[in-house]
């Protein structure tokens, strides 16, 4: 059985074959600010109780602290609901981005079926979870019943071989894959990232791959759980699980190969994530803003990589450099290690953990004609402010060296 | 039968184009409708009529899980979207909010803006009334058609709860 078949068979109690539609029991259900929309549907359905409050996690990350009165009202509604229902897993202002907080707090373990009202819920695939994004109304039905229909997806297995060259990161790998396959190249599929290049990656680097799987349409983007996963999870959760490699032997519907040894730093150009070129093709383009953070690249290794580039230097006077740690834990660790101080000395503005600039909800919106390079996961037109602004996506190191030079730059030649 | 005037768009119309993130602090349907498709077509929100149909290319609705995307289109009066292919979250969201969605790769070639399209959702047929040209598509599975017939997942589940537990 493939990973997808195994998880969905267990969750549905049926023999889940590829293409079947099964009714699956959800292990974990996550929502952020859009809990307000979920709640509206939940009440309209006429449901009274959440099926299992222990399996629901709510938090705020997209617009925190509240940027408008409307946002504040939405927060208040959800906060009141969480208190009234005595939800044990409600995180208010300041914990950080859902896709960092849930793994950190030990909510996610391998082979769980996780649904979240955010498309980047695929991030938990880095820990070997079957995790996928759904809408608010569908989440209301999950809150009421604990169940959801799922089509058992085909498996696309991507073998990544070799050692990443210096200054090349998992962000460059996934941008290159998305550029090759196209933004619908893995539509509806369970993508499995395998091979020695993945084994060598940290959990944070694997999260980048799983996070961005949705940018090629994948339903799920997993890395097989291994000793590294086990070590990462051990201090965070009491949940038990065993390493089970059985699905690794199952035949995939598609097998792709990629050697990473020759890979160059990559950049996704406006206005689609699959518009990917090597950094050398866009080197020298002037930028107005640089953003380091998000559920893609706001983790400690990302901040440390950028700090390594900038240490002792000043960001270009023409660039606004915004840094957003992914969570409170990341923020504190980066502060204790002196990384945030060093970044601030270089001219960075450090924001509270959250999604702020990534979706143009608040903080750091772009004006017409401006250009931004960002470690986030989408460069869609209008995403970060004006529809007449441009967003380029790259690794933390590429973003940092670009901030330093005031133009898109190659991290191999700082 | 769904029958309406056609608006036509290309490939990869993402959820940020359908409803930009900068408007999503407010879930009021009129507010969402007034900004629908704003970054791809500034005329859409002011000129769309109830019953109009969107015809678009591949990968429609890629991007965010924001349900406000199909909600904004529905609130603007769109009766159906006919696309070459759809991103999976958008496909589910469209059905869950009661916005009929048809996957038909030929549609983009068959229509010009302003044409009238006729859709038989359950029968799996699409027709251009100006040219008379028709195409077939796979109708959504029966359980999804029932959700659409009820007007979305909320009324569907409410109906089921009112009907009492099934034997």
pLDDT tens-digit map of A23-42: 999 999 999 999 999 999 99
Q: Does A77 touch chain B (CB under 8 A)?
A: no
3-state secondary structure of B91: helix
| Partner-chain contact B65 A119, CB within 8 Å | yes
Residues 180-219 of A with CB under 8 A from B: 183-184, 187-188, 217, 219
Q: What is the mean pLDDT of residues A251-279?
A: 98
User: Could you say which residues of chain B have pLDDT below 70?
Assistant: 164-167
| pLDDT for the residue numbered B159 | 86
Mind giving me the DSSP string for A163-214? PPPTT--HHHHHHHHHHHH-TTTTTT-EEEEESHHHHHS-HHHHHHHHHHGG
Nearest residue of A to residue B60 by CA position? A184
Peptide bond into B8 cis (omega under 30): no
| pLDDT for the residue numbered B167 | 40
A348 burial level (CB within 10 Å; 0-12, 13-18, 19+): buried
CB A67 within 8 A of CB A95: no
| pLDDT for the residue numbered A58 | 98
Q: Does B89 touch chain A (CB under 8 A)?
A: yes
| Chain B: closest CA distance from residue A166 (Å) | 31
Q: Which of A191, A152, A153 is nearest to A12 (CA)?
A: A152
Residues of A in contact with B87 (CB under 8 A): 184, 187, 217
| pLDDT for the residue numbered B63 | 96
| pLDDT for the residue numbered A245 | 79
Q: Does B58 touch chain A (CB under 8 A)?
A: yes
Residues of A in contact with B95 (CB under 8 A): none
Q: Which of A1, A2, A26 is nearest to A12 (CA)?
A: A26
Residues 380-399 of A with CB under 8 A from B: 380-383, 385, 387
| Partner-chain contact B58 A184, CB within 8 Å | yes
Q: pLDDT tens for residues A89-125? A: 999 988 999 999 999 999 999 999 999 999 999 999 9
pLDDT > 70: percent of chain A: 100
| pLDDT for the residue numbered B25 | 86
Among partner residues B17, B27, B93, which is closest to A381 by beta-carbon distance? Answer: B17
Residues of A in contact with B63 (CB under 8 A): 119, 378, 380
3-state secondary structure of A69: helix
Nearest residue of B to residue A68 by CA position? B25
Instruction: Tell me the C-alpha distance between B51 and B89, whole Å.
Output: 24
Among partner residues A44, A134, A381, which is closest to B39 by beta-carbon distance? Answer: A381
Q: Angle at the Cα of A286 (from A285 to A287), degrees rounded to 5? A: 115
Token pair, residue A317, equals: 């006077």
pLDDT > 90: percent of chain A: 96
| Chain B: closest CA distance from residue A220 (Å) | 11
């Amino acid at each position: 059985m493939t990973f997808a078949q195994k998880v969905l068979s267990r969750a549905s109690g049926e023999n889940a074959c590829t293409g079947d539609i099964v009714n699956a029991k959800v292990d974990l259900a996550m929502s952020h600010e859009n809990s307000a929309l979920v709640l509206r549907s939940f009440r309209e359905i006429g449901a009274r109780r959440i099926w299992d409050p222990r399996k629901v996690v709510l938090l705020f990350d997209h617009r925190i602290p509240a940027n408008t009165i409307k946002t504040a009202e939405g927060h208040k509604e959800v906060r009141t609901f969480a208190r009234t229902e005595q939800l044990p897993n409600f995180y208010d202002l300041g914990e950080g981005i859902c896709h960092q907080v849930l793994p950190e707090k030990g909510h996610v373990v391998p082979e769980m079926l996780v649904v979240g009202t955010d498309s980047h819920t695929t991030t938990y695939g880095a820990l070997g979870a079957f995790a996928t994004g759904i809408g608010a109304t569908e989440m209301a039905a999950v809150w009421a019943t604990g169940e959801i229909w799922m089509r058992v997806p085909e498996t696309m297995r991507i073998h990544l071989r070799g050692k990443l060259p210096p200054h090349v990161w998992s962000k460059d790998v996934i941008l290159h894959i998305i550029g090759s396959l196209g933004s619908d190249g893995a539509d509806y599929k369970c993508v499995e990232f395998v091979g020695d290049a993945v084994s060598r990656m940290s959990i944070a680097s694997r999260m980048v791959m799983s996070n961005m799987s949705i940018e090629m349409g994948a339903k799920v983007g997993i890395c097989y759980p291994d000793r590294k996963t086990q070590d990462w999870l051990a201090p965070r959760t009491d949940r038990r699980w065993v390493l089970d490699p059985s699905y690794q032997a199952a035949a995939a519907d598609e097998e792709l190969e990629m050697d990473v040894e020759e890979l160059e730093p990559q950049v996704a150009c406006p206005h689609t994530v699959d518009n990917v070129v090597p950094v050398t093709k866009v080197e020298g383009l002037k930028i107005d803003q640089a953003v380091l953070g998000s559920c893609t690249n706001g983790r400690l290794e990302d901040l440390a990589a950028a700090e390594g580039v900038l240490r002792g230097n000043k960001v270009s006077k023409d660039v606004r450099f915004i840094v957003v740690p992914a969570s409170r834990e990341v923020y504190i660790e980066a502060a204790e290690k002196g990384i945030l101080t060093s970044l601030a000395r270089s001219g960075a503005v450090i924001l509270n953990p959250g999604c702020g600039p990534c979706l143009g909800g608040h903080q750091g919106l772009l004006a017409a004609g401006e250009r931004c390079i960002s470690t986030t996961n989408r460069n869609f037109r209008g995403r970060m402010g004006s529809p007449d602004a441009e967003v380029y996506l790259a690794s933390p190191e590429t973003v940092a060296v670009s901030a330093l030079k005031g133009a898109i730059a190659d991290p191999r030649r700082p | 039968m769904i029958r309406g005037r056609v608006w036509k768009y290309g490939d990869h119309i993402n959820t940020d184009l359908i409803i930009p993130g900068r408007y999503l602090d407010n879930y009021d349907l009129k507010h969402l409708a007034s900004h629908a498709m704003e970054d791809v077509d500034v005329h859409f929100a002011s000129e769309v009529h109830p019953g109009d149909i969107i015809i678009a290319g591949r990968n429609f609705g890629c991007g965010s899980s924001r349900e406000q995307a199909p909600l904004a289109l529905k609130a603007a009066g769109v009766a159906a979207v006919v696309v070459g292919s759809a991103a999976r979250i958008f496909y589910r969201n469209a059905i869950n909010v009661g916005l009929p969605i048809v996957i038909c790769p030929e549609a983009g070639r068959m229509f010009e803006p302003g044409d009238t399209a006729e859709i038989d959702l359950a029968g799996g047929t699409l027709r251009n009334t100006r040219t008379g040209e028709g195409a077939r598509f796979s109708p959504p599975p029966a359980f999804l058609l029932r959700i659409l017939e009820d007007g979305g997942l909320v009324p569907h589940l409410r109906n089921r709860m009112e009907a009492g537990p099934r034997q």
